[in-house]
Copies of this chain bind each other. A is one copy, B any other.
Amino acid sequence: MTTRVGIREVAKAAGVSVTTVSHALNDATSSRVKAETQQHVRDVARNLGYAPNRLASGLRNQRSQILGLVSDEITTTPFAGAMIRGAQDAAYERGYVVMVVNSGLDSELEHREITMLQQHQVDGVVYARMYHQGVELPSSLAGFPTVLLDAVTGDPTVSSIVPDEVNAAETAVEALIRAGHKRIGMINNVDDIPATHGRLEGFHNALRRHGIEHDPRHLVIAAPETSGGREAALALLGQPDRPTALFCFSDRVAMGAYQGAAALGLTVPEDISIVGIDNLELIADSLWPGLTTVALPHYDMGRWAVNRVLDDIENPAAPPEQVRLACPLIERGSVGPPRT
């Protein structure tokens, strides 16, 4: 382990000044240095394995090339992973690197973490939630380049991206309609969150658009867990005029629906078709048959968020935008034609 090679060493080795090295390396087509010299300097730099110290250059030009990503929880679902990966990939492509911090629900901790990021002179931050929800931007981020990821806020000046819940539900329900279903039940979430309302709206939209009238007995509200889905399915599928297809609030709920159906001796998809939302591969791939579901575009949202915040940094005057991203259908084996 020799001592780190700095711009000085390069200059000495190339027989030019530090200034010239800097120009040769940074100015793409430099008017300050002869093309020949530039090439020579670059060769020397490569041979020495020179890599600029970003602390120093960050200090000099008030740009750390670091982005902060602050999220609430990172641990429970694979969603977090997808979002973070999207963010990192986008950042990497633009020469940035991201610092991730997570605060649980502790807003005091969150504040300290944000100051920590700011001490590191992050150029911007992506403020993320693990599931679509409304948030209030912490005061430490006021006036700081920030975009919201999987979250929205009242302030129209901050950009944000969330999944289009209505569209997601429409997509899911239309897959059922396409397969020929007319009696479609929905197991919705009991929680008061955007997904609950959006997906219900999408459900109704899709039915209305195809002239299917909705039987209110085919809508049940359940806890958004497997057990909730199981009980709801038991209730729905026990009815005399039971639905032939179920649109479930989430993949976990759908897994419960599978269990409920099995308990009633119904098989998927022959007796009952099921679609979920989330595309949790761990679940959707593992169910038997595989679960047809709508993917929440976490990876793409992550990418979008960092691209957006980088755009904001480069051009602070850009108008903000609040985006709702469409959600693609992922077909596996849980949808079939209704039994005639």
Contact = CB atoms under 8 A, between A and B. Distances in A.
Nearest to A68: B97
A120 B259 CA distance: 51
A226 B288 contact: yes
A92 to B, nearest CB: 7
B66 A88 contact: no
A56 interface: yes
Number of copies: 2
Interface in A82-114: 82, 84-85, 88, 92, 97-102, 113
Interface in A1-56: 1, 51-56
B252 A282 contact: yes
A116 B281 CA distance: 32
A92 B113 contact: yes
Interface in A213-234: 225-227, 230
Interface string A165-178: 00000000000000
Interface in A54-93: 54-56, 58-59, 64-66, 74-78, 80-82, 84-85, 88, 92
A225 to B, nearest CB: 8
A143 interface: yes
Given A74-B85, A75-B82, A116-B97, A226 B262 contact: no
Contacts of A157: none
B283 A283 contact: yes
Given A1-B143, A262-B262, 9 more contacts: A1-B144, A51-B118, A52-B119, A75-B78, A75-B81, A88-B102, A98-B99, A226-B286, A282-B283
22 contacts: A53-B59, A55-B120, A55-B121, A56-B59, A59-B59, A74-B81, A74-B84, A75-B82, A76-B78, A76-B282, A77-B282, A78-B81, A80-B81, A92-B101, A92-B113, A92-B116, A97-B116, A225-B285, A226-B287, A227-B288, A259-B288, A283-B283
Interface of A: 1, 51-56, 58-59, 64-66, 74-78, 80-82, 84-85, 88, 92, 97-102, 113, 115-121, 143-144, 225-227, 230, 252, 255-256, 259, 262, 280-283, 285-288, 299
